Amino acid sequence: MITASKFIFIKLILLLSIYSSPSNSVETKIEPINAFTTIQDAGGIQESNMNNTFLKNSETWIVDTMTKKAKSNYVANGYNLNDFKSDINAKSVYMNMSGYKFAIIKLEINKAVRSVTIMGLKQNNLYRITCLRGSNHDIPVWSGTCGNEIKKNFDIKLPELP
């Protein structure tokens, strides 16, 4: 059985492999944002462990995982792995809000796909909220689809924009 989070992740990997294909042109249509949450045991991680090394390691893990799965999907779709091109621009920061420390990792993939991952600790669990857009348009983190997913999981009131 495929879960919603797996479906959305597979969709992102498919988009990445399509946009890596030699004959692709960049699309300008603004695609909707999809969001999902993965919850796992924090494995002893505490906010004090959420330092710059943790942030960089998390960013590297996300980029490596996406690239590996995209390559596999690229080949499965009949393309030659030697033609695979992936340009992933990653930016990571921390933000403190409502008593939580959030690691925020933003990816721009082949100037065609955007992803934002927000990680935070709640009780003894690590929450990883992933927001995806199949076009090269910003993803608002604290409002809209992504903000609603954060509110739902962390039960916090996000600031309202004027």
C-beta neighbour count of 43 within 10 angstroms: 9
Assess if residue 109 is contained within a domain.
yes
Assess if residue 42 is contained within a domain.
yes
Residue 105's closest CA among 45, 97, 95? 95
User: Tell me: the pLDDT tens digits for 58-94?
Assistant: 999 999 998 998 899 889 999 999 999 888 999 999 9
For residue 29, the model assigns a pLDDT of 87
Assess if residue 56 is contained within a domain.
yes
Which has the higher per-residue pLDDT, 86 or 150? 150
Assess if residue 17 is contained within a domain.
yes
Assess if residue 159 is contained within a domain.
no
Looking at 6-10, 94-98, 154-158, which range is the least confident one? 6-10
Assess if residue 74 is contained within a domain.
no
Please list, in sequence order, all residues whose beta carbon lies within 8 angstroms of the beta carbon of residue 150, skipping any fewer than 6 positions away: 118, 129, 141, 142, 156, 158
Report how many domains make up the chain: 1
pTM over 0.85: no
Domain enclosing residue 112, as ranges: 4-69+86-154
